[in-house]
């Protein structure tokens, strides 16, 4: 017995297996475009840079717009609070005015003033001025006074 290699049947040549997107990658290659039209590749780079810059500018302006909108709403709330306090002050002044007008129409309810009915309050004692900053700071009132009163 003689060993003879078995011949394989001839295979058909197939086209080489292409990677996905290989066709697109080859046609849109930057080196290929740069070789054929260098001005076109420069134009693409400029367009890409300007689009990136424009995107950053839009993000920056969006952030500033949100910040300014928050500031505006905060200031508007303060304005509304001031208007409410002003309205309350005007109402209080009107009530006091009405009360005083009603009292002048009824003079019997008013007490005549005389020097015997006056109360005298002693003057506050003068503290020695040492000229230091701590003496000045001690006179500062740290209690918060509600607005409108």
Q: pLDDT of 111-124, one tens digit each?
A: 667 777 778 888 88
Residue 96 and residue 33: Cα distance in Å, rounded? 87
Tally of structural domains, the chain:
1
Q: CB neighbours of 32 closer than 8 A, spacing ≥ 6? A: 26
State the pTM of this model: 0.40
pLDDT band at 12 (very low <50, low <70, confident <90, very high): low
Q: Does residue 12 form part of some domain? A: no
Instruction: Identify the sign of the CA torsion 89, 90, 96, 100.
Output: positive
Rounded to 5 degrees, what are φ and ψ at 11?
-85, 145
User: Is 115 a member of any domain?
Assistant: no
Residue 102 falls within a domain, yes or no? yes
CA-CA distance, 98 to 103, in Å (whole number)?
9
Domain holding 27, by residue range, is: 23-107
Report yes or no on 123 lying in a domain.
no
Read off the pLDDT band of 44 (50, 70, 90): confident
63 belongs to a structural domain: yes
* CB hemisphere CA count around 60 (13 angstroms): 6
Indicate whether 137 belongs to any domain: no
What is the rounded CA–CA span in Å between residue 38 and residue 28?
A: 14
Residue 100 lies in a domain: yes
User: Would residue 18 count as lying in a domain?
Assistant: no
- The percentage of the chain sitting over the pLDDT mark of 70, rounded to a whole number, equals 57
Instruction: Reply yes or no on whether the pLDDT at 16 is more than 60.
Output: no
């Amino acid at each position: 017995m003689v060993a003879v290699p078995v011949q394989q049947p001839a295979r058909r040549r197939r086209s080489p297996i292409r990677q996905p997107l290989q066709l697109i990658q080859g046609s849109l290659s930057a080196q290929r475009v740069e070789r054929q039209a260098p001005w076109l590749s420069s134009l693409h780079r400029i367009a890409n840079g300007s689009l990136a810059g424009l995107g950053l500018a839009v993000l920056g302006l969006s952030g500033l717009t949100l910040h300014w909108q928050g500031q505006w709403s905060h200031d508007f709330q303060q304005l509304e609070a001031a208007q409410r306090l002003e309205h309350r002050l005007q109402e209080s002044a009107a009530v006091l005015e009405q009360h005083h007008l009603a009292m002048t129409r009824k003079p019997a309810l008013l007490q005549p003033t005389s020097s015997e009915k006056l109360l005298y309050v002693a003057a506050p004692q003068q503290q020695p001025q040492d000229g230091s900053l701590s003496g000045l700071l001690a006179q500062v009132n740290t209690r918060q006074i509600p607005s409108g009163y």
